[in-house]
Amino acid sequence: MYEVIFSNKAEMQLKRLEKPVQGRIISALERARIRPEDHFKKLVGEDAFSLRVGHYRVIADIERKKLLILVLKVGHRRNVYK
C-alpha cells in the first residue's frame, strides 16, 4: 500500500477548502493508496498525475519504487493546472 505525503503548498490548499470537499479528497486519496494507477491519470507533457474528485483535482507525483504518492497541488479544476 502506498503512503500519501502532502507538500506544504498542497496542505495549505487543502485546508482552505470547505470541510465536505476536504473529506471527499481525503477519502479519494485513501482509495487510491492501494492501486494508484487505477485512479490517477498521467498529465500530458509532465511527470505528474491527476486525480479527479468532482470539480477538484489532486496533482501528485507517484514514486513506485518507494510506494509513495507525493501530493503537489490541490484545487478547483479551473485553477489547479496554472
Q: What percent of the chain has pLDDT over 90?
A: 98
pTM of the model: 0.93
Parse the chain into domains and list their residue ranges. 3-76
- Are the CB atoms for 49 and 29 separated by under 8 Å? no
pLDDT of residue 15 exceeding 90, the answer is: yes
- Are the CB atoms for 50 and 29 separated by under 8 Å? no
- Grid cell of 37 as nine digits: 494507477
Q: Any bridge partners for residue 59, and if so which? A: 50, 73
CATH 3.30.2310.20 corresponds to the domain 3-76 = yes
- Are the CB atoms for 55 and 77 separated by under 8 Å? yes
Please, what is the average pLDDT of the chain? Answer: 96
Query: What would the pLDDT profile of 25-53 be if each residue is shown by its tens digit?
Result: 999 999 999 999 999 999 999 999 999 99
Amino acid at 51: L
